[in-house]
Amino acid sequence: MNFIDPSVMLDETVEVGYFTVIEKGVTIGKNVIIGNRVTIHEGTVIGDGTTVADGAVLGKPPKPAKTSTVKLTGDVPALVIGENCTIGANAVIYRGAVIGANTLVADLASVRENVEIGEYVIVGRGVCVENYVKIGDRTKIQSNSYITAYSTLEDHVFIAPCVTTTNDNYMGRTEERFSKIKGATIKRGARVGGASIILPGITIAEETFVAAGALVTKDTEPKTVVKGLPAKFSKMVDERELL
């Protein structure tokens, strides 16, 4: 019912469901639980105590479209998942990602190659994390948010549901865009409200509070509340709310 390559390092404490495929060179730690219909691609490393739910695909090899702005260079390293992580049902995590310990990647989430995710992070249901993204420790990204390529989210960032980040002011037109593609930089402790949109290259400063539905077109100042279309200064963040 399962296919497990003979080269797989599989501790005796590991539980594997039905109809699961584990390719060559995979390393799985102790007390790992792997659900039904899971695919674990070549070379993937899974830390002790991690749970992988039904239908997840781990270590998927990237294959960008010929027209994609993101080009692969050289070999993409194997996926590495830390200890005590939870990978949700039908989540897809690509080869070339590194997931820190105690992190949750929820059901139906997608994490692309060349992504670094820290420890104690939540990547919510249906979240899409694109290429070349860095996410710091204890950051939370809520359901259905989109983290575009070349973005950085530092520690203790909060991203509410349905937030959209962008990285291309030319929206696919002109050759000039290739040298200017850049996502958001969201600094430590910043909070971004539901359904907000952050334009390319914007820096959300430390402890900024972006109100729900805002359109952020300019860099923010630390510890400020911004809101509106476009987002403008409203007031300072209450001292009681600061980290």
- Asked if residue 91 lies in contact with residue 124, where contact means CB atoms within 8 angstroms, the answer is no
Arithmetic mean of pLDDT over the chain: 95
Say if residue 56's pLDDT is above 70. Answer: yes
Tens of pLDDT, residue by residue over 199-210, are 999 999 999 999
Tens of pLDDT, residue by residue over 75-131, are 899 999 999 999 999 999 999 999 999 999 999 999 999 999 999 999 999 999 999
Q: What is the tally of structural domains in the chain?
A: 1
- Give the end-to-end CA distance of the chain in Å, rounded to a whole number: 50
CATH number of residue 126's parent domain: 2.160.10.10
Q: What is the pLDDT of residue 69?
A: 67
User: Which residue range is the domain that position 180 belongs to?
Assistant: 3-241
Tens of pLDDT, residue by residue over 219-241, are 999 999 999 999 999 999 999 99
Q: Which region, left, alpha or beta, applies to residue 188 given φ > 0 means left and ψ of -120 to 50 means alpha? A: beta
Q: What is the pLDDT of residue 170?
A: 80
